[in-house]
Structure 1
């Protein structure tokens, strides 16, 4: 399988991934990703070069967003002073479930973050999705804390504030990597 940057025409596929994942989660009793995601915001992340697609021939098997930018209100100033990259929107097509593609994408993200000079890969997960939290713990992440308040949409409580991190390191993810070399992170000492 090949991992490559997403392209603007991938917006439709990415929105469908999110809708399918939301339906699957709803069947599990979770309201995660129940709000529609704005296509223009997704396009902006693609154009910023932070969205990546895992392709199996002409089929997209999964996607991951990896960015040096933290979501507002989650991480402390001390944590933000550490070189880190942030994982978002990791989604595996249900036809590819059970093949550890998510774990391998997290390994790819760790490898890319390490090559960029990051100490950590960090993420936030849905606060009520304990199955997802256990998944990330099983992938070597450590729970940092859960943020319930902050810059939540519509002024309500934060729904994706379960914070976790793991050390960024060289990893053998097994994908053919067609992404450009990552830009080095620069932090004041």
Structure 2
């Protein structure tokens, strides 16, 4: 594994960065679909989803979008905002991660971990001691396991009704010392 800190910067994103984030999401969909894992985000490009594009634009406008950038290229995105309605309210002030995606061409180089470390720094700088995130809990629960390796603990499960099936999710939390 290569430490991404040697070659990436993290900067705040803004609405002009939304197409780059949508491109990362489309790449993740292609990667997941090629591995038979379309249950997470489906098999259609997410850039064609106006609701998601609007959500990411709102996150960027509110100052919650942070990007991992190598030279001029966006290779990862972290979005922070309000917990969705299907998640229980937090027991204390929190930083809620609503988006974490990295360029699959750079998989295994620590980008996701670096973005999560950035989120921890942001939380601490504002006096927030809780970070939560939710993720897809279907398939082999690979995302749940990933977040566990990053220091998160599973707290609650949920399902989101989808046409033809339910989308299984897991909320994870990390208390900052």
Q: Bin the TM-score by the shorter chain.
A: 0.7 to 0.9
State yes or no: 1:66 paired with 2:80.
yes
Picking from 121, 125, 129, the partner of 1:115 is: 125
Task: Measure how far apart 1:42 and its partner are.
Answer: 1.9
Task: Measure how far apart 1:131 and its partner are.
Answer: 0.9
Task: Measure how far apart 1:82 and its partner are.
Answer: 0.6
Contact persistence 2:95–2:131 (CA under 8 A): yes
Aligned residue in 2 for 1:139: 150
Q: Compare the two structures and name the one with the higher strand fraction.
A: 2
**In structure 2, C-alpha distance between the alignment counterparts of 1:160 and 1:116, rounded to whole Å:** 32
Task: Measure how far apart 1:86 and its partner are.
Answer: 0.8
**In structure 2, C-alpha distance between the alignment counterparts of 1:86 and 1:160, rounded to whole Å:** 19
SS at the partner of 1:70?
Answer: coil
Task: Measure how far apart 1:28 and its partner are.
Answer: 2.4
SS at the partner of 1:114?
Answer: helix
Task: Sort the Cα spacing of 1:156 and 1:48 in 2 relative to 1 into closer, same or farther, 3 A.
Answer: farther
Structure 2: any 5+ residue segments left out of the alignment?
A: 1-7
Structure 1 stretches of at least 4 aligned residues deviating more than 4 Å after TM superposition: 152-156
Task: Measure how far apart 1:154 and its partner are.
Answer: 6.6
TM-score calculated relative to the size of structure 2: 0.82
Specify which structure has the bigger relative contact order, considering alpha-carbon pairs within 8 angstroms and separated by 6 or more residues.
Answer: 1
**How many residues in Structure 1 have an aligned counterpart in Structure 2?**
162
Aligned residue in 2 for 1:89: 99
Task: Measure how far apart 1:24 and its partner are.
Answer: 0.7
TM-score calculated relative to the size of structure 1: 0.77
**1:3-62 deviation line (CA, Å, top 9, x unaligned):** 111122211111111111011111222221226342222212211111111111111121
